[in-house]
Structure 1
Amino acid sequence: MVQITTTNASFIFEIMGWHKLWSLKSKLIIPRENVVKAYQDESEITFWKGLRMPGTEIPGLLAAGTFYKNGRNFWDVSNKKNALIITLREHYYKKLIIEVQNPQLALQLLNNL
């Protein structure tokens, strides 16, 4: 699970609990101007997430870390009903696919640029 906070210049995505170990990251700081949009689409959260480098995947249970599929993407999802897809520009990652506690609140925060 990921907790999102904001500053004037950036969004801070803090990976919570054991997910830090599984994803091999503790936080991502993304400048506001790099966030294109955030949305939910369960059909994009497929079985094949791409080549895992580095990270953890237990099919059907957990995907956490960096995966290569149509670019470099960061995943931290165990419940796709609470997952968001965040499209980025001019950043190390092309997309963030993350699970949050309250998707609607997170969408408002991210899309209210």
Structure 2
Amino acid sequence: MAKVEIDGSELVVVIEGIRKLGTLRSELRIPLANVRGAAADPEVSIGWPGLRGLRSWPGLKIAGTNAFGHYLGGVFSQDGDRVFWDVRDPAKAVVIELDGDDFSRLIIEVDDPEATVGAIVNAI
């Protein structure tokens, strides 16, 4: 699970617990100027899509953990973009869209998706 904080002009994503090992990171710091938006997305797929669901494919792992259907953590390549994942429970997933950063999206699991999205939208 991740904890999202606003620290001055930065969005800070802190990876908690054992997931630091799965994502190979403990913290991400993103300038708020690079954040385009955020949305709760309980439909995000962490599973193996099969042949009919390739649009929901989470991408190819670059570094991290890909226990499809159970947990995705780390850096993935999806449609040519670098995407950071930390999701076990898609019902709590938030997608943060970025521009001009190392990642094009952060897809993270948080305790309260609606409150997290509200805090990010208010900050940008």
* TM-score band, normalised by shorter chain: over 0.9
TM score, norm. by length of structure 2: 0.87
User: How many pairs are equivalent?
Assistant: 113
Is 1:9 aligned with 2:9?
yes
Q: Percent identity?
A: 33
Superposition misfits of 4+ residues, deviation over 4 angstroms: none
TM score, norm. by length of structure 1: 0.95
Cα separation, 2, equivalents of 1:104 and 1:42: 11
Residue by residue over 1:6-25, the C-alpha shift from the partner in whole angstroms, topping out at 9 and shown as x without a partner, is 11210110000010001100
Q: Any unmatched runs of 5+ in structure 2?
A: 48-56
Identify the residue that residue 78 of structure 2 maps to in structure 1.
69
Cα separation, 2, equivalents of 1:110 and 1:84: 11
Residue by residue over 1:33-67, the C-alpha shift from the partner in whole angstroms, topping out at 9 and shown as x without a partner, is 11000002334435331110101011111000000
Identify the residue that residue 23 of structure 2 maps to in structure 1.
23
- Spell out the pairing of 1:38-53 with structure 2 (5 A cutoff): 38-45=38-45, 47=47, 48-53=57-62
CA spacing shift, 1:43–1:82, aligned 2, 3 Å: closer
| 1:57 alignment partner, one of 56, 66, 78 | 66
Q: Any unmatched runs of 5+ in structure 1?
A: none
- Over the aligned positions, Cα root-mean-square deviation in angstroms equals 1.1
Letter in 2 for 1:60: G
Cα separation, 2, equivalents of 1:73 and 1:7: 22
Larger radius of gyration: 2
Residue by residue over 1:50-95, the C-alpha shift from the partner in whole angstroms, topping out at 9 and shown as x without a partner, is 1101010111110000000120000000000000000000000000
